[in-house]
């Protein structure tokens, strides 16, 4: 079989439904966020998560230097936030409006609308091709609930229908 190309790769992986979060960091007074779906739990002892961060992103540069990040997990009503934090046009305006976030213990912004959030110190960074695998040691977390999670599936957004 010929090597699959990027289009086939994206199409195939698009069938793997994922949650959606906003990864944030803070560096030298600047707050930054970016939409992520390549976010996963990694270890229970110690508590570790990972995020795959594209090397060309602003986030990659900032989190490499700040060594702290948070992930605010989005609910199904917040497709707008997912789109906003994936759109480069946000870099021309303040990314975080007063009243929509608070700062966690590491100084990273946490979205008030998150259904859950975790806050991490960078534990390790591994090479992953055009991405880095950023491993975070969890220092704080909170579950707010209130709505079903936002789901990203085959290039589109959906809510989660829980059976039963």
Ligand X SMILES: Cc1cc2nc3c(=O)[nH]c(=O)nc-3n(C[C@H](O)[C@H](O)[C@H](O)COP(=O)(O)O)c2cc1C
* Footprint on this chain of ligand X (rule: CB under 6 A): 20, 34-38, 52-54, 57-59, 82, 86, 88, 91, 152
Place of tokens 């976010």: 39
CA distance 145 to 147: 6
User: Minimum CB separation from ligand X for residue 105, in Å?
Assistant: 22
CB-nearer residue toward ligand X: 126 or 163: 126
User: Minimum CB separation from ligand X for residue 36, in Å?
Assistant: 4
CB-nearer residue toward ligand X: 80 or 146: 80
User: Minimum CB separation from ligand X for residue 106, in Å?
Assistant: 18
User: Minimum CB separation from ligand X for residue 154, in Å?
Assistant: 11
CB-nearer residue toward ligand X: 156 or 164: 156
DSSP 2: P
- By CB neighbour count within 10 A (0-12 exposed, 13-18 middle, 19+ buried), where does 65 fall? exposed
């Amino acid at each position: 079989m010929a090597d699959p190309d990027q289009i086939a790769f994206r199409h195939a992986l698009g069938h793997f439904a994922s949650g959606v979060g906003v990864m944030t960091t803070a560096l030298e007074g600047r707050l930054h966020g970016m939409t992520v779906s390549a976010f996963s739990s990694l270890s229970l002892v110690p508590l570790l998560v990972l995020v795959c961060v594209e090397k060309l992103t602003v986030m990659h540069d900032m989190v490499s230097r700040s060594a702290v990040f948070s992930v605010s997990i989005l609910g199904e009503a917040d497709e707008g936030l997912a789109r906003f934090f994936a759109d480069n046009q946000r870099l021309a305006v303040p990314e975080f409006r007063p009243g929509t976030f608070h700062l966690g213990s590491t100084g990273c912004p946490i979205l008030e609308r998150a259904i859950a959030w975790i806050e991490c110190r960078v534990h390790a960074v591994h090479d992953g091709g055009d991405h880095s695998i950023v491993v975070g040691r969890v220092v704080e977390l909170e579950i707010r609930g209130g709505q079903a999670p936002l789901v990203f599936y085959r290039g589109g957004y959906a809510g989660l229908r829980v059976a039963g």
